[in-house]
Structure 1
Amino acid sequence: MSLSRFSRILTFRNVLTKNNTFRNINCNKAAIRGDQRCLRLLSTQTSPNEEENHSIIKNTEKPTGDITKHEFKAETKMLLDIVAKSLYSEKEVFIRELISNASDALEKFRYLAVSGNETAQNIKDIDRSLEIHILTDKHNRTLTIQDTGVGMSKEELVSNLGIIAKSGSKAFIEQIKEKAAVGDNNIIGQFGVGFYSSFMVADKVEVYSKAVGAETGYRWVSEGTGTYEIQPAEGVQNGTKIIIHLKADCREFADEDTIKNVINKYSNFVGSPLYLNGKKTNVVQPLWLADPKSVTFQQHNDFYRFISGSYDVPRYTLHYKTDVPISIRALLYFPEGKPGLFEMSRETESGVALYTKKILIKNRTDNILPKWLRFVKGVVDSEDIPLNLSRELLQNSALITKLRDVLTARVLKFLQEQLKKNQVEFEKFYKDYGLFIKEGIITNYNQAEKENAANLLLFESSHEEPNKKITLNDYLARAADKRTIYYLAAPSRTLAESSPYYESLKTKKQEVLFCYEPYDELVLMQLQQFKGYKLVSVEKDMREDKNASDLTNLGDDSLKRSEINDLSKWIKEKLGDKVTAVNGTTRLENHPCVVTVEEMAAARHFIRTQSHNISEDRRYAILQPRLEVNPKHPIIKKMYKLMSSDPVLAELLAKQLFANSMVGAGLVDDPRTLLTSMNDLLVKALEKH
């Protein structure tokens, strides 16, 4: 067969595999050049019998002829014990492994049926229905799994089942590679140990199998103790039948409901019809493999509820497909409902399940999306992911990192698109889930990813009306050449606009972002810069403004420079170790003084979370506040006079102003502590009246 025809056949087979169901496919006869095998295969992929009780499992097998006894190789005996006792963390995964092997066998048959080689021409029942059947039997404590796939000869039974880690599936893929095949080789079991997981639950395993084109079937049987037997058998159906004789303490796997739950968990999206006790179980379609345009709104709602276990509907839906730099088929949902307290916890697992070729690998996989995106629900399917033998742990961290980076970038891009498309709707999402985005910026070490997430941040601005939100990009669009983004943390807009830290910038008509949420300033402090612009809090800007300490031209309505120096020295003496310095400043107009610290956001966070555990002296030693006084303010000028005329009242006034400034800066955990000192000041002030 020519390479071009071989490629064409594989392309046709890929279409069948990726669409999962084979109804309503417009098969172009010209495209397959009259290949009648393709047409017959196409017409039989949806079983003609989808009634309630459709089963192919029958007790028709009868062993005949001589029994040949074989021993597992020494290393195989040791590995068999490992597989059966410690490789898998959950016994139930043996069902997934056996279904995956059955799916492999069906895939091999599909390939052979359209390959046009001599073996395919000798297939008498090429029109057979390709199905997987499972039968539970509580009375006999057995579980039977049967497929109508490619089957195995005597030699293949020895090769594939007699030598552990000898994978027929892997050898099959290598065979396809040698023939220069193209397309996705949809073979799941590439390690050859999945079959042996059945010995976790079995006292004995029987296998009946008949290879494609063969007249004779064979029985393979082992108790997993180091030997196995092979014997010819009559009445063996095409494909492979596995009978698992369950251990007494594993009898639950002979229960229909138990098996159904395991199928729904791991193998619900297997590519061929899957029947349990005559009833089709894999009725939910793998929507992530479908054409996004063909999926209805109701289908998305139903699938979202199926994979998330939620009762709301998705707010946004991201249907994503790419083959470069890694093969990804993803269907991700952003919930409409508000997150619960459990979802807010960082201990909550990711809501994204990882599949490979429609077989579940991990129901909750934390390393394919960052922790802060744990509110996203959905499915990610990648054929490029290498797995360890048990398929439970991921190998090749570089590839997993690439998968994570690609998905994270796509999610952030998608949310940016929603923001531009409809900001009103996005603001509703941001109100519910904005805290997760902020968490991502605070906890991330990757500056590029932090800035990517920062595109989604929303703030009120001093240049906009109340309640109107802008992004950092909106700020940059009208920013001056100073290459600085200013922000101010305050509980409300009223307090922000009246803040002493904002006074001088307001006079200069400098735009400032207002941060009302407790962690907003921590987010911006951690972000540090955005697209080359430094993010600076106005409080830090005041502390570092050297021009503000130039007191040479203050005017007649201000204290003289020498008076400011004397007052500053006196205040420092009275406040003691509570302040590191007292300075005059020209940045205040309507306020007598303010307090500045090195990192105001970190200081406020410290006060909220840690200050109750330490003494007051230690608290001030950590904060190292600096008091900035306004030499033009009437209270400051009056205090200077009281230094000599009434030092007791002046001291009470100085301490009260400092305490007020600490409260205004958000550096006092309980403002009620001010009441005592305020009352003392009032008593002293009223003594002369």
Structure 2
Amino acid sequence: KIGVQLYVKRVFVMGDCDQLLPRYLRFVKGVVDAQDMSLNVSREMLQQDRQINAIRRRLTKKVLSTIEDLQSQRPEDYRTFWTQFGTVLKEGLMLDFDNQDTLLRISSFASTHSDEQLTTLAEYVGRMKDAQKQIFYATGESREQLLKSPHLEAFKAKGYEVLLLTDPVDEIWVGQVSEFDGKPLQSVAKGEVDLDSEEEKAAQEAERQEQQKDFADLLTWLQDTLSDHVKEVRLSTRLTESPACLITDSFGITPALARMCRASGQVVPVGKRILEINPKHPLIIGLQQAHRHRGDDDAKSAELTETAELLYGTALLAEGDIPEDPAKFAGLLAGRLARSV
């Protein structure tokens, strides 16, 4: 319940007055004494009262300003406050667009910069590389899971900081916030990633063109073989250690958000994702060679198809998801293991 009580000229009118503060400030306790209001007022009337709406706006800004002062003047107390109420406060990022900029300033997040200390967006921007144009973030169930995600490999290798967002509300508000301080927010698991400088791209252009040519047939075959699961297969610029990963279109819904929506009873359309493969990984190189020399051997073709299915399934597992048909995946894996011993 909202912990704000309403008085009119020092006469108690209502407790838990939920019209005086937005839901994301429900942890605030206090008293509001209005001077020009009828004593005989109902909750329904408060919703339409212009004075109450004005009080709500002023009170909200005052509370957020107080939190901002706490953040700058008493950082230790602020960190304690954020640990207790940060998740609730972040609800405002997707509900209160008038105060969204202030909420972004007072919010703190885990990141790859420190194992223990949280960071503000302003601090993140202050550490950005000279050529970096975006604020990178990853969403997931835990910090440990995200740090092991294939999506972070290139970012860690090149020293780019990534925000690690693990609260369920994070999956939602990142879709409502376009930028901070002129820097757009970019998911490491969405769209294409380009972390190379102009000099690096120029130096690697010949290699990239050669890779695209060498893997063209494999990419086409994988896309056809996995057409029930993915919409596209392409070479990855974000993988350095893993053989493959799955990504979502820039404006697509993430699997975690889709699961949240379904859990709440919402109907979510099933969208195919993009499979990215690492052209330097031994598994992908071996798959390319096997595909090139498969000939008309039905047994080899069947084994290649099985490998493609296993590759897709392991990409799902690597991001904390499960294959659409776990029993089928387990059967394929058991069969492959049996042939290897």
TM norm structure 2: 0.83
Structure 1 residue 568 corresponds to structure 2 residue 222: no
1:215-265 Cα offsets, whole Å, 9 max, x none, are: xxxxxxxxxxxxxxxxxxxxxxxxxxxxxxxxxxxxxxxxxxxxxxxxxxx
Instruction: Say if 2:287 and 2:304, in contact at 8 Å, map to a contact too.
Output: yes
Q: 1:593 to 1:553 in 2, by over 3 A?
A: farther
Alignment map for 1:151-170 (pairs within 5 Å) = none
Structure 1 residue 510 corresponds to structure 2 residue 160: yes
Instruction: Say if 2:193 and 2:238, in contact at 8 Å, map to a contact too.
Output: no
Structure 1 residue 479 corresponds to structure 2 residue 94: no
Answer with 1 or 2: which has the greater Rg: 1
The correspondence for 1:628, drawn from 276, 298, 302, is 276
- Paired letter, 2:305: E
- Paired letter, 1:629: I
- Measure the CA separation in 2 of the matches of 1:578 and 1:612: 25
Instruction: Say if 2:310 and 2:332, in contact at 8 Å, map to a contact too.
Output: no
Q: 1:452 to 1:494 in 2, by over 3 A?
A: same
Instruction: Say if 1:525 and 1:601, in contact at 8 Å, map to a contact too.
Output: no
Structure 1 residue 659 corresponds to structure 2 residue 309: no
TM norm structure 1: 0.43
- Paired letter, 1:653: T
Structure 1 residue 369 corresponds to structure 2 residue 21: yes
Structure 1 residue 579 corresponds to structure 2 residue 230: yes
Instruction: Say if 1:356 and 1:381, in contact at 8 Å, map to a contact too.
Output: yes
Shift of 1:504: 2.0
The correspondence for 1:519, drawn from 166, 169, 172, is 169
- Measure the CA separation in 1 of the matches of 2:340 and 2:65: 69
Alignment map for 1:165-564 (pairs within 5 Å) = 349-383=1-35, 385-387=36-38, 390-392=40-42, 393-394=45-46, 397-444=49-96, 446=97, 448-464=98-114, 466-480=115-129, 482-542=132-192, 553-554=206-207, 560-564=211-215
Length, aligned pairs only: 328
State the match for 1:591 in structure 2: 242
Shift of 1:380: 0.6
Shift of 1:649: 1.8
Shift of 1:390: 2.8
Q: 1:474 to 1:549 in 2, by over 3 A?
A: closer
Instruction: Say if 2:247 and 2:275, in contact at 8 Å, map to a contact too.
Output: yes
- Measure the CA separation in 1 of the matches of 2:340 and 2:126: 59
Q: 1:453 to 1:549 in 2, by over 3 A?
A: same
Aligned-pair identity (%): 26
Shift of 1:411: 0.4
Shift of 1:549: 11
Instruction: Give the match's secondary structure for 1:416.
Output: helix
* Structure 2: runs of 5+ lacking an equivalent: 295-299
- Measure the CA separation in 2 of the matches of 1:520 and 1:509: 24
Instruction: Say if 2:140 and 2:256, in contact at 8 Å, map to a contact too.
Output: no
- Measure the CA separation in 2 of the matches of 1:594 and 1:406: 47
- Measure the CA separation in 2 of the matches of 1:430 and 1:688: 52
1:558-598 Cα offsets, whole Å, 9 max, x none, are: 98433311111111111123111111123321111111112
Instruction: Say if 2:246 and 2:315, in contact at 8 Å, map to a contact too.
Output: yes
1:6-62 Cα offsets, whole Å, 9 max, x none, are: xxxxxxxxxxxxxxxxxxxxxxxxxxxxxxxxxxxxxxxxxxxxxxxxxxxxxxxxx
- Measure the CA separation in 2 of the matches of 1:602 and 1:574: 23
Higher relative contact order (CA 8 A, sep 6+): 2
1:104-163 Cα offsets, whole Å, 9 max, x none, are: xxxxxxxxxxxxxxxxxxxxxxxxxxxxxxxxxxxxxxxxxxxxxxxxxxxxxxxxxxxx
- Measure the CA separation in 2 of the matches of 1:473 and 1:381: 36
Q: 1:512 to 1:600 in 2, by over 3 A?
A: farther
Alignment map for 1:55-70 (pairs within 5 Å) = none
Shift of 1:623: 2.4
Shift of 1:543: 5.9
Instruction: Give the match's secondary structure for 2:59.
Output: helix
Q: 1:513 to 1:354 in 2, by over 3 A?
A: same
- Paired letter, 1:506: K
- Measure the CA separation in 2 of the matches of 1:539 and 1:428: 31
Q: 1:671 to 1:628 in 2, by over 3 A?
A: closer
- Measure the CA separation in 1 of the matches of 2:264 and 2:16: 38
Instruction: Say if 2:234 and 2:276, in contact at 8 Å, map to a contact too.
Output: yes
- Measure the CA separation in 2 of the matches of 1:480 and 1:612: 40
Instruction: Say if 1:597 and 1:623, in contact at 8 Å, map to a contact too.
Output: no
Shift of 1:370: 0.8
Q: 1:511 to 1:687 in 2, by over 3 A?
A: closer
